[in-house]
Copies of this chain bind each other. A is one copy, B any other.
């Protein structure tokens, strides 16, 4: 199996990306193709020892920044690591692509070069999110900010396949993010989407209010890319702010500082449970190839886990299963 990784993508690239890739090839039966500026990749790789036969480099002369417009990347940066990496998937032997770089550019390049699978109009980014017990799968967290109701139905179908295949839920339930529990709540978009899901989607359980987003209400939850992005970023911001306030209060209080010595294990487990990087990247669903998007601030561990998640999708032959489910 061969996974293509964007060596230049992310806030700490290529350092973190390459550190994660090195860990992955040591741990997993996988070959990684690093795409990016060859000299910089080689410079980083020189710091590690690893099985050389599991690593290859494909040079790409351009780098996409976080501020680059996706359409401009497609039109002008034809030799950037995202474009070169995604195009490798069209050749035999390359199974998946991972990037922690510019999300919009990845979505645009994947859509443009790989095309959509039949029956899907727009790609959506799925994310495994922690629940009080276990996990749910949220689509879309930022690919498609202004979808049509039918797009959310397509997301629901693809999310169900993902939950069945990769998350081992034989009969996944589906919910719709909305600001009220009852049918008829929300804006026109949510009302229309509710109707379509109720009519066409087996195991549709209705609306999920964001205060129950982590309360095991549904296996799959769908929403617009704007709303999904707000949900994951609000969660990120709140955990960070609460952590800062907690630290500040603890430093003011010697008893509390003492107490934390005993709590480290429990706090670490909570952090591990809510930390998205544990589950690797977020699959870009709907394009005709396995593309995984990682957080811009990905740690080496997050990159390693994204590789493992991509391997799982390859093993499960997820693209064929998505195609079969959406057409049916």
Q: Which residues of B contact A242 (CB under 8 A)?
A: 239, 242, 270, 274
Q: Is A43 an interface residue (CB 8 A)?
A: no
Interface string of A208-230 (1 = CB under 8 A from B): 01111111000000000111011
- Considering only CB atoms, which chain B residue lies closest to A258 in the complex? B262
Q: How far is the CB of A254 from chain B (nearest CB, A)?
A: 9
Q: Which of A225, A231, A245 has the most CB of B within 10 A?
A: A245
* Stretch of A46-54, A148-156, A180-188 lying at the B interface: A180-188
> Could you tell me if A179 and B265 are in contact, using CB atoms closer than 8 angstroms?
no
Q: Is A328 an interface residue (CB 8 A)?
A: no
- Considering only CB atoms, which chain B residue lies closest to A235 in the complex? B238
> Could you tell me if A250 and B266 are in contact, using CB atoms closer than 8 angstroms?
yes
Known: A179-B142, A187-B145, A270-B245. A230 touches B233 (CB 8 A): no
> Could you tell me if B256 and A262 are in contact, using CB atoms closer than 8 angstroms?
yes
Partner of A237, one of B213, B240, B270: B213
CA distance A242 to B269 in the complex (A): 11
> Could you tell me if A209 and B186 are in contact, using CB atoms closer than 8 angstroms?
no
Q: Which residues of B contact A210 (CB under 8 A)?
A: 229-230, 233-234, 236-237
Q: Which residues of B contact A215 (CB under 8 A)?
A: 237, 240-241
In the complex, the 6 A-B pairs of residues with the closest C-beta atoms, listed nearest first: A259-B262, A214-B241, A210-B233, A211-B237, A256-B266, A249-B266
